[in-house]
Chains A and B, each alone.
Chain A
Amino acid sequence: MSNPAAAPEVAREAQQPPAAAAYKLAKVYGKGETVVHALRGVSVEFAEGEFTAIMGPSGSGKSTLMHCLAGLDTASFGTAQIGSTELTGLNDKQMTKLRRDLIGFVFQSFNLVPTLTARENITLPLDIAGKKVDKEWMDAVVDRLGLADRLGHRPSELSGGQVQRVACARALVGRPQIIFGDEPTGNLDSRSSAEVLSILRATVDDFKQTVVIVTHDPRAASYADRVIFLADGQIVNDQRGLSTDDIYEYMKHLDEHPPAPVPVPDEQD
């Protein structure tokens, strides 16, 4: 690890517009005494067809960044966009439709509606939108995820790994612009975890899907093309092609030399 970059560096080499991007994104919780700066001006672009992992210590703002990017939460300052759509200023309905049509989600837990079968869960976003399910694509995804014989089961009848795979299938089947996962393998053992991650990897390779996940696990992050490190609400490193060991190394370094506290950015910016 030779480049513990102090300043965030925005990836610029991608030719097409990014699948998602944040510019000077800041998020402040609370007021006065109890104010928390969860994000302090984060700028980042996620290129089409790339697999990105976001890492960082607990409380560094990973989830906050992802929520703001995915239209689940609104930023205090700065802009976030999905494709060419700016999220700032969208009302709830537009935001919901954007999530429905352009974004796929895989959460750490509670991914599926317990009363619906695996198949019904997979097609849920399409059904809600009143869209037709692309049968061939659905079969391809289900096959790929090895869920073909599990489609009639309820979530309570599936293993944790299978639940996460169903969630992946749900995210994939609508062909979203981008898939977000907040610690999608956080609850899984290493084998199931590897299963889910290789599936995400494969969708990137085979279907040119854009994927962004948050993870604490260097092995999970090593599946990604690009790893972004966050500390105290800022990007402290952004690199491509890291191995598991590289990531371990960097995390150790981060623990020993935490980045100097950065002054709060001018909020009127």
Chain B
Amino acid sequence: MASTMRKVSLRNLAAHKLRLILTVLSVVLGTSFIAGALIFTSTMSNSFNGIFDKVAIGVDTQISPKTTDTNAYGGVESLGVPDSVIQQIQRDKDKLGVAQIVPGYQSMMTIADSKGKAIQTGGAPTMGASWVPKTQALDPDGATILPGGRAPNGPHEAVLNESAAKRADLKVGSRTKVVVSAGNAKPFEVKIVGLVDMAGDTSGYTEMDFDAATAKTLFTDGSHASMVQLGAVKGVSADTLKQRINKEFPGYKVQTGDEVRQENKDAINSFLQIFNYILLAFAAIGLIVGTFIIYNTFSMIVAQRVRELALLRAIGAGRGQVLRSVMLEAVVVGLFGSIVGLGVGTGLAAGLQALLSSTGTGLPSGSLVVGPAAIIACLVVGVVVTTVSAIAPARRASRVAPVEAMRESQTDGAASLKVRTIIAIVLAVLSAVALAIGASGKGGNAALMVGIGALGTIIAVVCGAPALARPVVGALGLVLAKPFGKLGQLARTNAIRNPRRTAATAFALTLGLMLVAIIGTLGASFKSTIDRAVNDEVKAPIMAIGTGGTGALPPAVSKEIKKVDGVDSVISIHGVEGTLNGKEVGGNSPSGDLTKAANIKLVKGSSKLTPNGLLTSDKAAKKYHWSVGEKVTFTSHFGKKATVQVVGIYKSSALLDPWQMGNAAYEKLTPPSMRADYVDLIMLDDGADSAAVQQKIEDATGSYLTVKVQTKEEFANSSAQQINQMLVVLYGMLGLALIIAVLGIINTLALSVVERKREIGMLRAVGMLRKQVRRTIYLESVLISIFGALLGMVLGVIIGWCLVRTFREWMAGITPVVPWGTVLFTLVAAAVCGVLAALWPGIRAARTKPLEAIADV
């Protein structure tokens, strides 16, 4: 009997190819994202590792300042290694076992392309560095100047990496403008004298090298090196040299070449990890939703096979045999689906890679790495999820009574929803309480509470949606299907005929769109808060911001702006970083009287910031227990100290948090080569034509390549746009949710069309036209979709609303805003998806022959 049952299962799979394809498809959806995520990240990390394998070759020991983040994607927060260290090593060369000393000078910069615009790197950094001639290089096979070029010499010559030159359309002999990001440097022109083939010369990375003396003056304060690389004499190992140097200079970071390479790799891998997490989050959504589709499919398959299973039971098959036979089907489907998923995932990773390299993102291209992790994760997850999803339907199948074989009607969906609904109600109440508690508080714990509430809500939806489906879809049907008369009524009754199935089908939309609504609410709230803050708090009609790699403005820019006709004054907001009682803190320092450019709502003291004074928001004052007249000492990363006196306390606001430091103190803390401005607030002369002056400022600062001049309104809009860019992930999620939802709806509808074959045939016999059959299916699908979307939107907006309330801790004055536009768009999109999903099942249904109503089975 066992082998017979196996034969029955396998024959079943083979006999219902459509059903098989649809079920497999739902497995493929989830697993392909897992495979795609893992393959993509390991491919990327493999190609990055390949690049970093070539970094720091020949370096036995590298000395760099402790606070410097030496990875390629970080900034410089320290002055570097002082010349005195280099001199000391030079002196003790023999004692230490050092053969070669190569100091390096580097910093972020901006380079113009042949059209005078900043070279686009797609997120990769643009670095300026010192060129190390072959004769001095630790790695004789390292960076090489390509034939036709030569090494740079003097302050107006430079070499550029080959791929960047290609992107920028620059050649040997071209002249172009460059700006160093930090310090007081002005833009200047350089001549490209050579192109370099170097490690890391990939799609986005841009590096311009100058001779060592030029680089030193450009990129450091003139008495430091960014780092020093050492080569050991024969007989002294890298480790030995490292230990000796470490002993000699304990205040610095000392690494072997291997460690430098590893550090680079680790940094890039943790950067890639973010990609991995995003993709895996997508995979999780895909799988969770996929689980419901698989569950739905197996439920329907079992329902359709009730008579067959009952017959098997009647002729003596045991419950266990029936259960195993259904589970065997699940394992076969899961395995097959995962294998296909692996293939699709590989394609997905390849596509993503191609997409990213074509959009000029600074990611290298390399051959795909399909590692064992991806294969195992994909197969295991696919099979486990499929079998788990099939357990409930399989158990139901095993409980089919033999008499069912003789019965006419189908009994699926008759089981009570009572237990599920009670669980849902309890969970919903608890979640509501959690959400309310979260929303009434602010900060991390409140947000966590909201998160718990959100999770509870999702589980409540899973349990309670079937009970909701009947009344909600019924009501929706009354409104939406009314114009379609009888067809509408048929669609409506079909949609609520099996609420379990309707709810499971709609779940893909509910979950996906819930996330969309949450993020959409956050976005809308941030945007409106920024809008309001800019309008209320900023007096300056025009502002300038930096668009380069560091996002900062070179301090020289404000001097250029001041010279423009029609400009009354410019107040630069400098960034201040340092430590306070050993803790990292960051704030601002305005170059002039802030009250001229911004509205400050003073709470206590004076709003007049003295050179060694500190204006603080009430929030920061509370946090640090500051009161007016109190003295506070900040320490910079470079060991400098500045003591300031609190002169006033103002009301905390979105733009002016957390504190403003007087200029003298700022200059004490920040050496000139480290200075940069966040923003320049520009006040105009009375009666000046704002648009004309804006144009003039743009012309005056154009040579800095990375200066954006905006009106207050434009600034608010572009800040909002930045938020919108972060919301791109959201739209990816929306897309995925919609795709899966469409597939799920197709699946459910196609199977229920098969299930309702006789009924449809009968309707055709009594005169329903094909197009009427199709329309009924479309309407049913739209009702299911809108039900799912509505549920997701309502819950998402509520959760988003609560979440925004907790953000008051970090962003003063933020108030929740419902993104009506997004909600409306999403509902319409869901309806469109409903129709799209119903196209094929509709056509299949319309093809039903009237005779199929009469024919037995």
Contact = CB atoms under 8 A, between A and B. Distances in A.
Interface string A100-134: 11000101111111111000100011011110000
B767 to A, nearest CB: 2
A149 to B, nearest CB: 22
Given A113-B759, A115-B497, A128-B486, A96 B768 contact: yes
Interface string B745-771: 000000000000011001111111110
A21 B762 CA distance: 23
A131 to B, nearest CB: 10
A190 interface: no
Nearest to A111: B762
Contacts of B772: 128
A92 B768 CA distance: 11
B765 A105 contact: yes
A111 B854 CA distance: 9
Contact of A114 (B485, B759, B770): B759
B853 A110 contact: yes
A97 B493 CA distance: 24
A114 B765 CA distance: 16
Contacts of B490: 113, 115-116
A227 B763 CA distance: 29
Contact of B770 (A93, A112, A116, A182): A93
B493 A116 contact: yes
Interface string B765-799: 11111101000000000000000000000000000
A108 B493 contact: no
Contact of A72 (B497, B758, B768, B851): B851
A170 B487 CA distance: 17
A156 B414 CA distance: 13
Given A107-B854, A120-B489, A127-B486, A72 B765 contact: yes
A100 B850 contact: no
Interface string B829-855: 000000000000000000001110110
B770 A128 contact: no
Contacts of A63: 854
B767 A129 contact: yes
Please classify the interface of chain B as helix (H, G, I), strand (E, B), loop, or mixed, using the class held by over half of its residues. helix
B408 A109 contact: yes
A99 interface: yes
Nearest to A160: B408
A96 B493 contact: no
A99 B759 contact: no
Contacts of B558: none
Interface string B476-517: 000000000111011001100100000000000000000000
Given A113-B490, A115-B493, A156-B409, A108 B854 contact: yes
A67 interface: yes
B770 A107 contact: no
A114 B760 CA distance: 11
Contacts of A205: none
B377 to A, nearest CB: 44
B769 A93 contact: yes
A267 interface: no
B493 A124 contact: no
B763 A113 contact: yes
B762 A113 contact: yes
A73 interface: yes
Given A108-B854, A109-B408, A110-B759, A124 B766 contact: yes
Contacts of B489: 116, 120
B762 A100 contact: no
Given A110-B853, A113-B762, A96 B769 contact: yes
A96 B770 contact: yes
Contacts of A130: 485
A182 B853 CA distance: 12
A120 B762 CA distance: 15
Nearest to B486: A127
Contacts of B487: 128
A168 to B, nearest CB: 13
Given A110-B762, A128-B772, A101 B486 contact: no
B767 A128 contact: yes
B854 A115 contact: no
A125 B767 contact: yes
B13 to A, nearest CB: 27
Contacts of A115: 490, 493-494, 497
A173 to B, nearest CB: 11
Contacts of A72: 765, 849-851, 854
B329 to A, nearest CB: 28
Contacts of B768: 96, 100, 128
A92 B854 CA distance: 18
7 contacts: A99-B766, A100-B768, A107-B765, A113-B762, A120-B489, A128-B486, A170-B766
Given A110-B408, A170-B766, 8 more contacts: A105-B765, A107-B765, A113-B490, A113-B759, A115-B494, A128-B767, A129-B767, A182-B854
Nearest 10 pairs of A and B residues by beta carbon: A100-B767, A127-B486, A115-B493, A125-B766, A72-B850, A99-B767, A110-B758, A125-B767, A128-B768, A96-B769
